[in-house]
Structure 1
Amino acid sequence: MAAVSKLLLLLLCLCTYHSLTAYAGDDPNRYTIGSINTEAICSESKATPSTTSAGATLALHHRHGPCSLDPSKETLTTEEILHSDQLRARNIHRKLSADTSSTAADTDAEKLEATVPTTLGTELQTLQYLINVSIGTPAVAQTVMIDTGSDISWVHCKPCSPCHNQMDSIFDPSQSTTYSPISCSSTACVQLGNDSSAGCSSSKQCQYVVNYLDGSNTTGTYSSDTLTLGPNVVNGFQFGCSRVVASDSDDMIAGLIGLGGGAQSLVSQTAATFGPSFSYCLPAPQAPSGFLTLGVSTTSNSNFTTTKMFRNSEIPTFYFVPLRGIRVGGTPVDVSPSVFAARSVVDSGTIITRLPPTAYSAMSSAFRAGMQDYRRAEPLAILDTCYDFSNLTTVRVPAVELVFDGGAVINLDYDGIMVFDCLAFAPNEDDSWPGLIGNVQQRTFEVLYDVGRSTMGFRAGAC
């Protein structure tokens, strides 16, 4: 049965993505559409983390990849996935906006909400990458999503009625000898702030809430317990013990680990132990695994192409970089540098990269000019530059490079350029909005968040 499950997952991946596994001849922009040996892929990981010092490294998987930790199938259509991705993009833009009044963005978000089921997990469907950690003493294994756009980590907890249908045992805090609910008067509870605080329970225990734009939320008791990351143990880790259950969701995931820049995130809580840096490599959907590393050695930065990283003290969750241009086929797209004045958020949970509309228009025009040999397909939700690759054995796409301040240039491979047979970029609604660099463009790179040095790095071919 295990082999059958793996085959079904593989077929899902192959139906969703073209598996372009090798260059054709000497042309670095031509890719061969090939079959995949799932058994070989899952036994021979190509992930190569950079050198670490006193750090913790965990295997990381695409949630519907051939070696996924999650046996459930994708329950959303491609269009619903892209709508969910748009919800996430809207949510990030709304958090970054100083204007919290009703806007055109809010109106459009309401339209999107009407097309996507409002269950816990709808907006979270864009969180495609999983790790395995353990909570409590004795340790209880939990398969969780990672998210650089979240600070608060949480897992489903007992008592629950009905209980969440997940692959791991639901964490029961009453069975852990190291579990402790956080009191309402503690600094940790006060740091939740108005947006994440859900008040106090009758027993003066701190209650948290995380709201998602689709109307769902996770809420429960803010707590502390032992977190086990491979051979590493983190004592007193603060997380949400969630009592909310999405009973009509097929999502088998136990919870979420926040990698944002806020005080509640795993990165902030372990900075004193591992250091103020982390990195990950997000594998392509058909690839075996990547990794998440806490505590990347700063001496290994020479292996990365680096640029400046910025933070917003009022909204510390997000990590910004200065994207300054795009090259298609080796030629810079013809837009004024001022179009890229707003910094871009690097986000592991957003799928499709969002660009200023002026920049996107110039980029897509240049890309289409380089794809004239291929038949166009109908637009797919937010993706408007799509192609019909049926009956083809090789595909040649123009090179796409992202150019950052300081001369850093990131050369994307096929899996960073195309998704669902479409150009994996979309426009923001306004040039003034911050761009979003999604996980499609981050795939196969080790992305380094050197918080201590305010630097972001990219190392190609890491997984």
Structure 2
Amino acid sequence: MASVSKLLLLLCSYHTLTAHAGDDRSYKVLATGSLKTDAVCTDPKATPSSGGATVPLHHRYGPCSPVLSKKMPTLEEILRRDQLRASYILRKFSGATGRAGDVQQSDATVPTTLGTSLNTLEYVITVGIGSPAVTQTLLIDTGSDVSWVQCRPCSQCHSQADPRFDPKASSTYSPFSCSSGTCAQLGQEGNGCVSSKCQYIVNYGDGSSTTGTYSSDTLALGSNAVKSFQFGCSNAESGFNDQADGLMGLGGGAQSLVSQTAGTFGKAFSYCLPSTPGSSGFLTLGAGSSGFVKTPMLRSSRNPTFYGVLLKAIRVGGKQLNVPPSVFSAGSLMDSGTVITRLPATAYSALSSAFKARMKQYPPAQPSGILDTCFDFSGHSSVSIPTVALVFSGDAVVDLDPHGIILDNCLAFAGNSDDGSLCIIGNVQQRTLEVLYDVGQGAVGFRAGAC
């Protein structure tokens, strides 16, 4: 299998490029009011790159969300859930070659019947399913392949804002038979068969699950229609109590939306996660590639769901941290569902120290869960924070938005227990960037200021 050094040799043709979010001075100004929960939905300013199909994207707990969600969880609860997801991912990529988390070499297998964590997902899109189309608001997840919605009848389902999908009311609905190739492709033991209909089950890392009939129907993405879209028609679920109607899998496996629509929109998609819950972003299928800085995408045939990249270095205030490249050798995952970016221990320690050294004007504050680099911003309407940039293979430099650096009053990064462990690039760090997953060209791209 390819070693990391061999992988790096493949990157020599990439030029040094920078995705600037804001200016490139060593400090950025952040209004402390923007760190508080938004009460009003602001006018969308999203500017997606050209693509085949674009739908709005919202934070599930924000005022722009179409879901009548419960009150936003506390930061403590968000971080607790987030740790469950991150720990699950790290376990799945651990120990294959003596180094935890090697994206390219991992022998760990994540079956299509397993998902990362349902209750950490924060962003939703609205689509239509069936003929006539029934509006469904779905969580998005790059760490899942199987998409599903709650269907009638349902023996054990949570309440939702939209009408529950009724297969009998759709003229284009079709369940897969147990003998179909599509059913076999799910690749799960004990798949089950009810009245000759293929049954699916997805067990998530946080203990939640969904099961029902694997089916196909017409999917409406804005003005675009996807015929014979494959999804789970859920008749029972557990461990999930939000108002969303289901999940849209954006992983790299055969069952994901991206794989299913590759023939129509191409093997590329992108999204932009807004800076705050009070603003909007977007999801685009068939995204264009111009205007992005790019880094090679690392994939594993044993674990096709996840999208890997190689983080090489971190810059604070324009200066690169003195961290050996070997610390990042296990690779990194881009993940829409993990909130906080996880770094190897040495890398996080260096980042925290450098950040605190440039924040001496603000008193330290008590840690918040896994966030231990926190500050007291009392009495300040705005704060000056040092820039943070992530440097990926191919020397693609991604300058983070201020909202991608600070969460509440803390540095929005956390450390893993050891070096040589997998990095997870979480959704806070992705805010305002259009993140491109170009599977066809084997690249991940970043475009600043897209939403």
Q: Residue 129 in 1 paired to residue 123 in 2?
A: yes
Note if 1:171 corresponds to 2:177: no
2:133 to 127, 132, 139: 139
For 1:175, give the aligned amino acid: A
| Counterpart mapping for 1:38-437 below 5 A | 41-42=41-42, 44-52=43-51, 55-74=52-71, 76-97=73-94, 123-194=117-188, 198-246=190-238, 250-297=241-288, 301-437=289-425
Q: Tell me: CA distance 1:232–1:268, structure 2 relative to 1, closer, same or farther (3 Å).
A: same
Q: Determine the C-alpha separation between the residues in 2 that align with 1:40 and 1:224.
A: 37
Aligned partners of 1:360, 1:23: CA distance in 2, in Å? 24
- Report the residue type matching 2:421 in the other structure: W
Matches of 1:32 and 1:129 in 2, distance apart?
Answer: 23
CA spacing shift, 1:183–1:37, aligned 2, 3 Å: closer
Q: How much has 1:122 moved relative to structure 2?
A: 11
Residues in 2 aligned to 1:380 and 1:272: alpha-carbon distance in whole angstroms: 46
Change beyond 3 A, Cα 1:72–1:340: same
SS of 2:90's equivalent?
Answer: helix
Measured at CA, do residues 122 and 330 of structure 1 come closer, stay the same or move farther in structure 2, by a change above 3 Å? closer
Question: How far 1:31 moved relative to its partner?
Answer: 2.4
Once the two structures are TM-superposed, the CA of residue 38 in structure 1 deviates from its matched residue by: 7.6
**Aligned residues of 1:59 and 1:291 also touching (Cα < 8 A):** yes
Per-residue Cα deviation, 1:160-214 (whole angstroms, up to 9, x for no partner): 13543100000111111111111122121111113xx542224222111111222
Q: CA deviation at 1:27?
A: 8.4
CA distance in 2 between counterparts of 1:63 and 1:354 reads 23
Q: Partner of 1:188: helix, strand, or coil?
A: helix
Equivalent-residue separation in structure 1 for 2:77 and 2:152 (angstroms): 31
Task: Please give the per-residue CA displacement for 1:321-350, whole angstroms capped at 9, x wherever unaligned.
Answer: 111000111111111111111110000000
Instruction: Provide the C-alpha distance between the structure 2 equivalents of 1:375 and 1:304, rounded to a whole number of angstroms.
Output: 38
Q: Which moved more, 1:280-289 or 1:363-372?
A: 280-289
Q: CA deviation at 1:296?
A: 1.4
Q: Which one-letter code corresponds to 1:201 in the other structure?
A: C
CA distance in 2, matches of 1:170, 1:426: 39
RMSD of aligned Cα (Å): 2.4
Does the C-alpha gap of structure 1 residues 228 and 342 become closer, same or farther in structure 2, counting only changes over 3 Å? Answer: same
What residue identity is the alignment partner of 2:50? T
Aligned AA for 1:258?
Answer: G
The letter of the residue matching 1:74 is K
Which residue in the other structure is 1:30 paired with?
A: 29
Change (3 A) 1:134 1:387: same
In 2, distance between residues paired with 1:135 and 1:95? 33
Q: How far does residue 29 in structure 1 lie from its aligned partner after superposition?
A: 1.2
- Residue 12 of structure 1 corresponds to none
Matched residue type, 1:73: K
% identical aligned pairs: 59
Unmatched 5+ stretches in structure 1: 1-21, 104-120
Q: Report what 1:456 is aligned to.
A: 444
Out of 182-191 and 442-451, give the one that drifted further. 182-191
In 1, Cα distance between equivalents of 2:62 and 2:136: 18
CA deviation digits over 1:212-249, x for unaligned, max 9?
A: 22222111111111111111111111111111244x86
Q: What amino acid does structure 2 have at the position aligned with 1:281?
A: C
| Residues 261, 47 of structure 1: alpha-carbon distance in 2 compared, 3 angstrom cutoff | same
Q: Do the aligned partners of residues 159 and 41 (structure 1) sit closer, same or farther apart at CA in structure 2, a change above 3 Å counting? A: closer
Q: Distance in 2 between matches of 1:204 and 1:372?
A: 67
- Give the AA of the match of 1:167: A
Contact 2:208–2:240 under 8 Å retained in 1: no
Larger helix fraction of residues: 1
Partner of 1:6 in structure 2?
Answer: none
1:155–1:255 CA contact under 8 A, matched in 2: yes
Q: TM-score, normalised by structure 2?
A: 0.86
TM-score by length of 1: 0.84
1:112 paired residue number = none
2:9 is matched with which residue?
A: none
Q: Report SS of the residue matched to 2:236.
A: coil
Measure, in 2, the Cα distance between the counterparts of 1:215 and 1:249. Answer: 9
Q: State the alpha-carbon separation in 1 of the partners of residues 179 and 421 from structure 2.
A: 38
Distance in 2 separating the partners of 1:98 and 1:177:
49
Cα distance in 1 for residues equivalent to 2:331 and 2:161 = 39
Q: Is the Cα–Cα contact under 8 Å of residues 22 and 401 in structure 2 kept in the other structure?
A: no
The runs of at least 4 aligned residues of structure 1 exceeding 4 Å deviation read 34-41
SS in 2 for 1:317: coil
Q: Distance between the aligned counterparts of 1:130 and 1:400, measured in 2? A: 27
Question: Structure 2 counterpart of 1:241, which letter?
Answer: C
CA distance in 2, matches of 1:162, 1:289: 32
